[in-house]
Chains A and B, each alone.
Chain A
Amino acid sequence: MFIFPQGLYVDVRLEESETTEIRFKQRTLQGQKVRRIKGALIRVFDGQRWYYSSTTDLENLQAQIDSLAQMAAPNPGISEHPLVREFEVNRETLLRYQQKSVGDVPLEEKKALLEKILRKITDPAVVNHTSYYVDNRTVKSFYSSLGADLTFDRQICGMRFALDIVFGEKRDQMVVSKAATTFDELRGFKEFFLEEMAKDVAYVRDAEPVVPGEYQVLLSPEATGVFTHESFGHKSESDFMVGDETMKAEWALGKRIGRDLLTIIDDSSETGSGYTPFDDEGTRGRKTEIISAGILTGRLHSTATAVALGEEPTGNARAVSFEFEPIVRMTTTYIDRGDRPLKDILAEMEEGIFVDTIKHGSGMSTFTLAPARAYKIENGKITKPLRISVITGNVFTTLQEVDALSQEFRLGSFVGGGCGKMEQYPLPVGFGGPYTRVRKLQVQ
């Protein structure tokens, strides 16, 4: 298919995506489009430096390869380079969604599903609402000068409702979003959306400002997912560690990070937003236990970071699109389920805060969660809704504060937003987990 220049490692990632977006303002259609994009990212490596080209000119990919090769310095020993030797060479076609493609569902059906739900938004407190149906199926092909030859797909479809809710002087915009991997599955979410909207209306009506301070916090599965992603997930992305002796010492495998109850997993085979059967440099996805029973046992790798740290690639080299090169990213990351019923964990809490849904989070040395819906916990019961700007904790110490995990467990997918890492945003990721109790977090 391509003529790969001698003395260089080359790979080509082709992406063909089809996205449908339907947007209603209240009951009026304001947008409906089907966007089809074809593009490619070419990588050339000469043993010293990488050269990338992002292009939509698919007729001239060979010329682009040759042009990048001109920038590089051919290296007769390239095939013996430790990085090149470590690249997986997979040959497979895995089109999981070809027979259930959202592209085959008529637009009118998609619109009808959205309208069916938005017609139920009748509460007078919802003074305005914007509703979206979004789906995407992307087929990726990957070829390398080592002989890799892959074709695989991923798919997501979902709905998102942004509600403007007003009760006198109390007002807020609340968002409900949920996604599935097939249209048939999405049809089953109607009750979920309506129940969440009802909770949002009641929340805005009754929420009071929180008294800032340090609290015991119970996180819902959704909030646990964001907590896991921000408090530790980014720390497990090993590109931060390459060439940094302090980081290597601080995050040495075998170190105790949390209590025995804590296991954190990144699993790219999990169906949903984070599904990544092969990463964007052709490595097969897998399940990586990052923390096992409180001990650091793994981290997330591209091939380059795995070689640099003397570990195995994990299939976590991902790019948001053909416009970017793959970097180390999470897929579906979660705390494994616990062994206690939620009701028992809650009953032990005299005073605390329950975080139900999340607007956004961030993960530097201080991680943050900005709750959308949060409630007070009093005498073992979830009581009054609270307005909270931000919850913060320290990435080095907070996982030690996780002291209870529920049997109840949920993983979720959504549309609208995603994970951001420097210039690459939004990357679809999956997250979730059990109900998680953290002994102390700063709440403002």
Chain B
Amino acid sequence: MKQEIITIRTKETAARIQASEVAAVRVKDITKKGVRVYRDGLIGVAGTVGDTPEDVLLEQAAQNLQAGIKYPYPLTQNLRDHRCLNEAPMSSQELLEQAESVLNTLRKDYPDFSFSESIASTEQIVQMRNSEGLDLEYRDAHFALMLMLKEKATANLFDGAVFCLTRSFDQEKFWSFNRPFLEAYRNKVELPEGDVLPVFMWDHDVLLYFLARQLHGERFAKGSSLFSGKLGEQLFSEKVTIDVNRDPALRPMTFFDTEGVVLPGNRLPVIENGRLAAVLTDKRTAETYGLAHTGAASGDYDDPPTIDGPLGSLLAFRADSQNIAGVLQGRPAILALLCSGGDFTADGSFATPVQVSFLFDGERIVGKLPEFAVRSHITKMLGEDYIGTFEDTNLYFGELVRQVQGYYMTIVR
């Protein structure tokens, strides 16, 4: 009987912030373990949170074989790959010192705002091993400052956010961006004229999750994706390349999928220069539908591998453009900070309210805009209205949030 074990250990210290003060400190140290056994083309699983002995889990997984869940695919084997992305995780003490220091400055220099939520340091160790020689380990640690900003003069739940996601927190860099950014919150400006304006977004998760649904290998094969039958076709602007990207240098995530697959060079294009090059598959989907295997297996630590998961987090655009100001050539643009609740319809129409945004000249954040909404369509956003995906901009939300993406969008005032 072949065996496979996944262990996830998460250690966290979080300063919980209320009204710009540390109201609480939370420490967490939790280990989750999943065990899989394979016999006669079947898979059995078991899992625990905490410290259940491995032999007990193996016995439970062996009993789970009776469910008859088929998994006749070869296990990933003879691969050892250990990676540590952060050799010097921030200690609890340093975290609290950094938090107090940031909050002191916020209280002193920005008394018209109130800040809440958290400043946290998280360490994660993920191991995946099997009886066939697979031995993968991902160690990482990151610092996450996520503060909701409330203008004391308003009755909104909140009016914006200040955030930073990085492996190494550099206060000087943080303040050199956030001082003018916080000043921009104080400068209320009007939306520029025009029905269609350039809109830049740092968070394009809604777009990635919509794309992931269309790139889902099974949906593609069954005809229920917008992209079904279009393999090899030009879908978007030639500038657009989207990868299954498991490079942990870009964001804190494992470099392997839940079948232990490591992509060569950590990435594989699914949209290449606007053309549909591949879809998202695990071993089962690739074999069942005769599709290329793209290492996109998902599932929880105690699940059999599956293609049904939050696949949007696997996708990443390649940076294709530089110098936003050069592209704008003096035209005003919008930097959308918080767009909550919007969505795509099944045919690709997109709309979202833009709750927090700023007037932006490509380099400088000028002032805060009133709320409005935007409208577009997937083929326009990544086609004729696509401006580009930028890195190395003057914006700084931490080393792990590097991209800004721009599109021309219809403004709904």
Contacts and interface: CB of A to CB of B under 8 A. Distances in A.
Interface in B359-413: 371, 373, 375, 412
A55 B12 CA distance: 11
Contact of B341 (A52, A71, A209, A390): A390
Given A33-B302, A392-B373, A55 B224 contact: no
Given A240-B157, A389-B343, A173 B30 contact: no
Interface of A: 23, 25, 28-33, 35-39, 49-58, 68, 71, 107, 127-128, 130, 164-166, 170-173, 204, 209, 212, 234-235, 239-240, 242-247, 249-251, 323, 325, 359-370, 387-390, 392, 396, 422-423, 442, 444
B375 A212 contact: yes
Contacts of B156: 364-365
Given A39-B49, A368-B342, A388-B345, A244 B29 contact: no
A128 B156 CA distance: 43
Contact of A444 (B64, B154, B375): B375
A362 B158 CA distance: 13
Given A50-B25, A323-B30, A164 B224 contact: yes
B24 A56 contact: no
A422 B70 CA distance: 38
A166 B152 contact: no
Given A30-B304, A127-B224, A389-B342, A53 B49 contact: no
Contacts of B48: 36-37
Contact of B349 (A35, A71, A164, A387): A387
Contacts of A36: 48
Given A53-B27, A57-B29, A127-B224, 4 more contacts: A58-B50, A171-B225, A204-B346, A359-B343
Contacts of B103: none
A54 B306 CA distance: 30
17 contacts: A23-B306, A31-B303, A32-B67, A39-B49, A51-B25, A128-B224, A246-B154, A325-B24, A366-B353, A366-B355, A368-B340, A368-B341, A370-B341, A388-B345, A390-B352, A422-B146, A444-B412
B341 A360 contact: yes
Given A39-B50, A53-B26, A165-B224, A244 B150 contact: yes
B74 interface: no
A39 B31 CA distance: 11
Contacts, number: 204
B213 interface: yes
Contacts of B49: 37-39, 56
Given A243-B19, A387-B345, A442-B373, A53 B28 contact: yes
A204 B94 CA distance: 55
A99 to B, nearest CB: 26
Contacts of A249: 155
B219 interface: yes
B22 interface: yes
Chain B contact patch, size range: 35 or more
Contacts of A55: 28-30
A243 B114 contact: yes
A245 to B, nearest CB: 7
A364 B18 contact: no
Contact of A245 (B50, B152, B299): B152
A45 B371 CA distance: 40
Given A32-B64, A444-B351, A173 B224 contact: yes
A31 B306 contact: yes
B118 interface: yes
Contacts of B29: 54-55, 57
Given A39-B50, A53-B26, A390-B353, A209 B347 contact: yes
Contact of A364 (B157, B349, B373): B157
Contacts of B70: 28
A420 B45 CA distance: 29
A25 B346 CA distance: 21
A127 B23 CA distance: 52
Interface string B146-175: 101010111111100000000000000000
A12 B376 CA distance: 50
A444 B373 contact: yes
B316 interface: no
Given A32-B67, A36-B48, A392-B353, A423 B118 contact: yes
A390 B343 contact: yes
A353 B229 CA distance: 34
B412 A212 contact: yes
List of 3 A-B pairs having minimum Cβ-Cβ separation, nearest first: A368-B341, A56-B50, A362-B341
Interface of B: 16, 18-19, 22-31, 45-51, 64, 67-70, 114, 117-118, 146, 148, 150, 152-158, 213, 218-219, 222-226, 299, 302-304, 306, 308, 338, 340-347, 349-353, 355, 371, 373, 375, 412
A94 B156 CA distance: 39
B340 to A, nearest CB: 5
A247 B157 CA distance: 8
B28 A49 contact: no
Given A128-B219, A164-B222, A173 B28 contact: no
B336 to A, nearest CB: 13
Contacts of A29: 67-69
Nearest to B92: A71
Contacts of B340: 362, 364, 368
Contacts of A251: 155
A37 B30 CA distance: 12
Given A29-B67, A30-B306, A32-B64, A250 B27 contact: no
B157 A365 contact: yes
Max chain A Cβ within 10 angstroms of own Cβ: one of B341, B346, B349, B373: B341
Contacts of A209: 345, 347, 349
Contacts of A127: 222-224
B369 to A, nearest CB: 13
Contact of B152 (A52, A165, A246, A359): A246
A444 B155 CA distance: 26
A56 B30 contact: yes
Nearest to B284: A30
Max chain B Cβ within 10 angstroms of own Cβ: one of A325, A370, A390: A390
Contacts of B45: 31, 33
B31 to A, nearest CB: 7
B355 A364 contact: yes
Contacts of B302: 33, 35
Max chain A Cβ within 10 angstroms of own Cβ: one of B117, B155, B223, B299: B155
A444 B146 CA distance: 30
Contacts of A242: 18-19
Contacts of B303: 31, 33
A56 B31 contact: yes
Contacts of A323: 28, 30
Contacts of A33: 45-47, 64, 302-303
B341 A128 contact: no
A58 B218 CA distance: 42
B69 A32 contact: yes
B43 to A, nearest CB: 9
A263 B375 CA distance: 34
B155 A247 contact: yes
A323 B27 CA distance: 10
Contact of A54 (B30, B69, B342): B30
A292 B146 CA distance: 36
A171 B346 contact: yes
A38 B50 contact: yes
A72 B340 CA distance: 38
